[in-house]
Amino acid sequence: MTAPLGPDHYYRLTAELAANDLCRPVCRAIAATTLILGIIPLGLVSSSAGPQGFWGRGLAVVVAVTCVVMTVPWLGHRWPSRRVTLAFVVVSASCIATDCLITAQPMLGLLGAVTFAVLSAFTVMFHGAKTLVIPWTIGAATLAVLGLRIAQTDVVLAVGGVLLIVMLTAFVASACSVALRLIDIRNDRAGGLDQVTGLLNRSGFDERLAALIGSRTRGDDRFLAVIVIDLDGFGLHEAMAGEAAAIRARVCVGARLREAIRRDTLLAHVGDTGFLVAEVFTSPNPSPLAERLRSAVATAPYRLTASIGALITPLRALVDAPATAVIDELVAVATAQMADARRSGGDQIRVSHCPRLAVLTPSDGGDEPTA
């Protein structure tokens, strides 16, 4: 079933941006756009069509300073929180309205109102269609004032200009909504992504891992590591902080885990508190990776810890075995190691090195495993 447009897109889109190393370039682009929004009215102060008088020029300076301040959250290493981006929408809409209304020539202000379309796209992508009421209310008031000013000299031009801005803004917002719907439909059909974190789900993990194993040969001398991560005491955290905070914690932990692994490493979110990792090594030692993952959870801002179980086994032995059975047993062995780490107090790592797998053991009749 397709997920409705709403706050969930914030978590999923930001997680996918982080997973594809796109957070930083997108954040920098937003910072640059915001800075330009503040610079333009300052540049127009010297123009006869720009802000005039003490109040006009003073407001231009206020907008410029505000825009400089708003760039700060976008210059960090991570995507700003949902509250920060929602505040960004409100303040940006106010700055756009101010930029448009302080111009001496209302047609110049109407041209600047095109920026509401850009803000609408950002809003609907990350905060859902319902949140559009914020920029659209401010935008409607701005267009009404500009339209009345233009109508004093040319009514037809005022009506046509306002309708053009309204049509453009509505089209951009609708196009973004449709794009999100199509992404939802694609993901639902593929069934490979977790709807909250944007990471792989169990079926997507199994499919990718099966493809990874199937692409190897008997001559491959590398090792496959499967790691099971389970958050300690997460049920208590959810009971105390609430469901929304629990969702944010899962997204945050997922993002931290993604930062701790290579880009081609498989990472999945399973259940409410579990994560799966699969990576190929040249030596049978997954402990450094497991420790990075444990540290990534422990240093996240939610004061959580994780019990981690890992398994490492030669890849060549897995090539001719049934992929589904192999993956199920690998995950089961790693899960048993995780459970042992939890029984020992949690926030620990247990590793099984090259265990004897039942799926690779010949049957009682002496038959070898077949593909």
Could you tell me where in the chain the CATH 3.30.70.270 domains are found?
Answer: 202-360
Q: Which fold has domain 202-360?
A: Alpha-Beta Plaits (3.30.70)
Residues 242, 244, 247, 253, CA torsion sign: negative
Return d(Cα 312, Cα 319) in angstroms, integer: 15
Q: Are 343 and 307 in contact (CB under 8 A)?
A: no
Residues 8, 12, 15, 17, CA torsion sign: negative
Per-residue confidence (pLDDT) for residue 7, from 0 to 100: 43
Return d(Cα 367, Cα 349) in angstroms, integer: 36
Per-residue confidence (pLDDT) for residue 32, from 0 to 100: 94
- Per-residue pLDDT reduced to its tens digit, 46-77: 888 778 888 888 999 999 999 999 999 999 87
Per-residue confidence (pLDDT) for residue 5, from 0 to 100: 37
- Per-residue pLDDT reduced to its tens digit, 241-260: 787 788 888 888 998 999 89
Per-residue confidence (pLDDT) for residue 75, from 0 to 100: 92
How far, rounded to the nearest angstrom, does the alpha carbon of residue 17 sit from its chain's CA centroid?
Answer: 5
- Per-residue pLDDT reduced to its tens digit, 172-219: 999 988 888 877 666 555 567 777 788 888 888 888 888 888 766 555
> What single-letter DSSP state applies at residue 265?
S
In the predicted model, residues of the chain with pLDDT beneath 50 are 1-7, 364-371
Nearest Cα to Cα of residue 28 among 63, 59, 71, 61 = 71
Per-residue confidence (pLDDT) for residue 2, from 0 to 100: 31
Return d(Cα 134, Cα 130) in angstroms, integer: 9
Per-residue confidence (pLDDT) for residue 185, from 0 to 100: 65
Nearest Cα to Cα of residue 112 among 92, 132, 129, 127 = 92
CA angle 37, 101, 134 (to 5 degrees): 70
Beta strands at 266-270 and 349-353: parallel, antiparallel or unpaired: unpaired
pTM above 0.85, yes or no: no
Per-residue confidence (pLDDT) for residue 178, from 0 to 100: 87
